[in-house]
Amino acid sequence: MDFTLNEEQQAVTDLAEQILGDALSPDDQTERLRAVEQAGDWFDHDLWRTLADAGLLGIALSTDVGGAGLDAVALALLLRAQGAHVAPLPLLPSSVAALVVDRHGSGEQRQRLLPGVADGSTVLTVAVQELLDDRLEAPGCTFTEGKLTGRKVVVEHFDAADHLLVTASTPDGPCCVLVDRSAPGLTAETGLSTRLQPLSDITLDDVPGQILDRGPDDGSVTTLLDHLRLGICATQLGVTERALAMTADYTSTREQFGRPIATFQAVGQRLADQFVNVGGIRLATLSAAWRLANDRDATEDLLVAKWWATERATDVAHATQHVHGGIGVATDYPLHRYTLWNKHLTASLGAGNQTLRRLGALLAG
């Protein structure tokens, strides 16, 4: 298992970092992000078009639909860059939904949706979580005779999406269903998450949908959940890496008693612990990405990575805030936004205890 980036993966990393870094440089990041948040849709449309023009939105899609034909590692590296710059974009849900359509959809579904995803004109999202029910692999939402019935929560970028990929149960097994956002019977109530992102609670009342072509129990739900977990971990990796780097810079210049506070043993030891935690998130995430990219069973690795990206990422958030002192929570200082993203990602698709229960059941089985 070699995690050294190949030439294509390094090119993805460099290009994503260049584009996101230019748009969200430290000098103008706060002002630009605040403007996007106040606009209400939590979507930097100009940055989205720039990523599309660079060919990054279709990084993991097949070349026949306008994608780059790269693998899960490349997608993880792109999402890591997004997390490092806390860029408000529907990159995770749209990329993962498109990847599932690419692998499990019909020729017609692929050609109808995926070229638009690659060129940025089409946005997809996913609806997998249900209220007070973390059995993601066995959805309570049902799909019968071409109609969806149920409720989904924590749906990101509902208003921006053209289509939703909804997980549902059928008599023949779980499946993924494509739904037009304007379909009759689909209603939504929207609130704000901890990172000021609109999240929707949607109700599906006999909503017409189109099952992915290969039918129920074809593995599409597993593909979807696996890549969502990977994407959450990769985004969290970028968030924690940048928060720790920001804290290292701050403690190297902030002086107390005539010397930088980084030279104080208590500060150095606490940040050394976070260096280990971020390294654990990185190792577990890249291991899971490598297994997915090489068509190996990644279930255990993904659950381990999600635990690190939840529990140990929380330690990173607490330590970086604590070491910064009062300035860390100031809204015109960038660290607070990384902490809010961290908290959002830790709870996505289940918090630490839920992840451990899944991992325990897997090992016991």
248 and 347 share one domain: yes
245 and 178 share one domain: no
| Res 262: pLDDT | 81
Residue 2 covered by a domain: no
170 and 205 share one domain: yes
More confident residue, 233 or 359: 233
**Closest-CA residue to 346 (of 234, 233, 200, 248):** 233
| Res 332: pLDDT | 84
Residue 263 covered by a domain: yes
Residue 215: band (very low, low, confident or very high) from pLDDT cuts 50, 70, 90: low
- Of 75, 103, 119, at which residue does a domain stop? 119
| Res 228: pLDDT | 98
| Res 252: pLDDT | 85
| Res 216: pLDDT | 66
Residue 114: band (very low, low, confident or very high) from pLDDT cuts 50, 70, 90: very high
| Res 353: pLDDT | 86
The pTM for the full model equals: 0.95
| Res 58: pLDDT | 96
Which position has the token pair 């294509």? 8
More confident residue, 1 or 146: 146
As a whole number of angstroms, the distance between CA 121 and CA 131 comes to 31
pLDDT score of 159 more than 90: yes
55 and 139 share one domain: no
Taking CA atoms, 338 is separated from 31, 242, 250, 303, in Å, by 15, 8, 15, 23
- Of 98, 119, 140, at which residue does a domain stop? 119
Residue 242 has which token pair?
């940048």
User: What are the start-end ranges of the E strands in 222-272?
Assistant: 255-256, 259-260
339 and 252 share one domain: yes
109 and 234 share one domain: no
Q: What's the domain count of the chain?
A: 3
Residue 1 covered by a domain: no
pLDDT score of 315 more than 80: yes
Q: How far is CA 72 from the centre of its chain?
A: 13
109 and 139 share one domain: no
As a whole number of angstroms, the distance between CA 203 and CA 236 comes to 29
| CATH label of the domain that carries residue 309 | 1.20.140.10
pLDDT score of 217 more than 70: no
225 and 342 share one domain: yes
Residue 324 covered by a domain: yes
- Of 66, 92, 119, at which residue does a domain stop? 119
146 and 169 share one domain: yes
User: Across all residues in the chain, what is the average pLDDT?
Assistant: 93
As a whole number of angstroms, the distance between CA 1 and CA 243 comes to 28
As a whole number of angstroms, the distance between CA 119 and CA 49 comes to 8
166 and 274 share one domain: no
More confident residue, 29 or 303: 303
Note the pLDDT tens digit of each residue in 28-74. 788 899 899 888 899 999 999 999 999 999 999 999 999 999 999 99
Residue 309 has which token pair?
């990206």
Residue 308 covered by a domain: yes
228 and 349 share one domain: yes
pLDDT score of 265 more than 90: no
Domain that holds residue 73: 7-119
pLDDT score of 213 more than 80: no
User: Would you tell me how many other CB atoms lie within 10 Å of the CB of residue 43?
Assistant: 18
| Res 94: pLDDT | 98
| Res 185: pLDDT | 97
140 and 98 share one domain: no
